[in-house]
Homo-oligomer: A and B are copies of this chain.
């Protein structure tokens, strides 16, 4: 069941078997067919480790995400999977909940480590040093979530998306808008939240509306954390009349907090998020939609393009406001 067995059975050399199996040129049509037939009969599959060692290519891509269990990441990973599988690439998944995991991931999958041919990072930012290493080694990295000039990337216009959401709130007459921010320390995704936060400020500025810094709270991505933090925000006597959350999942936490406090949505509080999560329709959440799974597919495509030698591309996926029943004019 090694390449030699196939070679013997087909009456050719191992070199020819190797070429035939991989569909390389310089093999007579007839020879190739015979080799392939014999290989199938013998149920031969090349040993990936041996092939990798000899060829120096792994046909594997490592995908790093802050949390594989979060809605957004699982959708992107699903997209990457379908895109990569078609091309015969393996997908090595790693959750990177903190800096330690991230460092280890980068070490293990560094250019010199020869574990994979490329890396896809979803919403995880590199420090300048980390990026510099990869760039200097000509390593292939694809970024999903935000634009990375040095590498192919697929993202949305985070600034615009947030601005759109907040402008919607402002145009409904809201002037005291709460902001649910992600904590930057420890979390891997410290690029996207600040961008959306900036969009929040931009929208206020455009509307000539001052922002009250006291209306900003920080909360991790878990529903419970957001729920607790939001409750504190909404319990205040001068509570906001509307809230903008970094994601729909966070917005769900806000809705839970509102319910805890007996606040009606949208009568007492308007809420808007970003994503268009699967359950947003059911709960009536107004949001800024983005096609998430598609971004994963695109990442895989950009990667394969680059592997083929094409030049670096950046694609920006469109977003759009979807107004549902969680937002209403200020009473």
Contact = CB atoms under 8 A, between A and B. Distances in A.
A67 B58 contact: no
Contact of A49 (B52, B71, B279, B282): B52
A323 interface: no
A69 B114 contact: no
Nearest to A69: B78
Interface in A52-69: 52-53, 58, 67-69
B75 A69 contact: yes
A97 to B, nearest CB: 8
Interface of A: 1, 43, 45, 47-50, 52-53, 58, 67-69, 71, 73-75, 77-79, 81-82, 85, 90-95, 101, 107-108, 110, 112-115, 223, 249, 252, 255-256, 259, 278-279, 281-283, 293
Nearest to A60: B92
Nearest to A67: B78
B92 A92 contact: yes
B81 A252 contact: no
9 contacts: A45-B110, A68-B74, A69-B79, A74-B77, A78-B95, A85-B94, A85-B101, A252-B279, A256-B282
A110 to B, nearest CB: 7
Given A48-B49, A73-B74, A77-B93, 8 more contacts: A45-B110, A45-B112, A49-B58, A50-B53, A69-B79, A71-B74, A85-B94, A279-B279
Q: Output the residue of A68, A113, A259, A293 with the most chain B CB within 10 A.
A: A68
A68 B69 CA distance: 10
B279 A114 contact: no
A182 to B, nearest CB: 17
Contacts of A43: 112
A256 B283 contact: no
Contacts of A48: 49, 113-115
A184 B58 CA distance: 36
Chain A to chain B: the 10 pairs with minimum beta-carbon distance, closest first = A74-B74, A69-B78, A49-B52, A49-B53, A279-B279, A68-B78, A45-B113, A93-B93, A81-B95, A47-B114
A262 to B, nearest CB: 15
Contacts of A53: 47, 49-50, 53
A68 B58 contact: no
A230 to B, nearest CB: 13
A35 to B, nearest CB: 18
